[in-house]
Homo-oligomer: A and B are copies of this chain.
Amino acid sequence: MIIKPTESELEILNILWSKGPSTVREVHEVLEQNKEAGYTTTLKLMQIMHDKTLLTRDASSKSHVYTANVSQQKTQGQYIKRMIDNVFNGSASQLVIQALGNHKTNKKELDEIKKYLAEMEKKTK
């Protein structure tokens, strides 16, 4: 199944991924920190996401509690794939190098990457 949340949906997924199951109100309060938005806008979005099964919800209490129903990892993977295909001519290394170049990457992050590369090497042998 192809997961293709819109940008707004992605913002909401991100909040749910990091905070865990939340009510509309809770999600909305986080969203508001970055941009203006009406409460019912957030509500509607999350209802639509529920219809699309991007979210599940527990309606047992008055304020429904929503949970992301797609994994962060899988969603990330599909985004990357789309991006590599559409924007990077299929070259993952081009993406990686751009990412490292444009973004200020700290030592800890670099170490993680090197560690990961080393593991890949091992498996290849």
Mark A residues whose CB is within 8 Å of B.
7, 10-11, 14, 18, 73, 75-77, 79-81, 83-84, 86-89, 91-103, 105, 107, 109-110, 112-114, 116-117, 120-121, 124
Chain A at the B interface: SS class: helix
User: Is A14 in contact with B105, judged by CB distance below 8 angstroms?
Assistant: no
Question: Which B residues are in CB contact (< 8 Å) with A18?
Answer: 89
Enumerate 10 A-B pairs (CB-CB under 8 Å) in ascending A order.
Answer: A7-B86, A14-B87, A77-B102, A80-B98, A80-B99, A80-B102, A92-B99, A92-B103, A93-B105, A93-B113
The 9 closest A-B pairs by CB, nearest first: A93-B109, A92-B103, A77-B102, A93-B112, A96-B96, A76-B98, A80-B99, A97-B116, A92-B99
A86–B120 touching, CB < 8 Å: no
CA of A105 to CA of B14, assembled, Å: 27
Q: How far is the CA of A31 from the CA of B101 in the complex (A)?
A: 31
